[in-house]
Amino acid sequence: AQSVAQPEDQVNVAEGNPLTVKCTYSVSGNPYLFWYVQYPNRGLQFLLKYITGDNLVKGSYGFEAEFNKSQTSFHLKKPSALVSDSALYFCAVRDRGGANNLFFGTGTRLTVIP
């Protein structure tokens, strides 16, 4: 069974400081991993994905994530947070050989404090 865990419901960070939003996953095989961001009353926007290759993936708006197979993690990071980064972030996983749909974590609300 596939599952995604985002251990933190809420992350607060000061503007200009680095941010990390944590994600761990469980799949039967090798995963496809994704990060999405959601602003209030809006759909999800794609940030980045890990498919294969370099474990460090760079995405939109200066975000990046590191795939760590041994720790089954895919934490989202940004070197310097902006107030406009405040939103709800979802990690998602899809099994390469499994169903066609994505499984989402419960989401982490990021608040960047001016």
Residues engaged in binding other proteins (CB under 8 A): 32, 34, 36, 41-46, 49, 51, 90, 94, 100-107
Closer residue to other proteins, CB minimum distance, 18 or 46: 46
Task: Return left, alpha or beta for 61; rule: phi > 0 is left, psi -120 to 50 is alpha, else beta.
Answer: left
Give the nearer residue to other proteins in terms of CB position, either 50 or 85: 50
Give the shortest CB-49-to-other proteins separation in angstroms: 5
Q: Give the shortest CB-21-to-other proteins separation in angstroms.
A: 14
| 49 strand-pairing partners | 34
Nearer to other proteins among residue 99 and residue 114 (C-beta): 99
Sort strands 87-95 and 108-113 into parallel, antiparallel or unpaired. Answer: antiparallel
Q: Could you give the dihedral angle defined by the CA atoms of residues 48, 99, 31 and 78, in that order, rounded to the nearest 10 degrees? A: 20
Nearer to other proteins, 59 or 80 (CB): 59
- Contact yes or no for 56/87 (Cβ under 8 A): no
Question: CB of residue 25 vs other proteins: minimum separation in angstroms?
Answer: 14
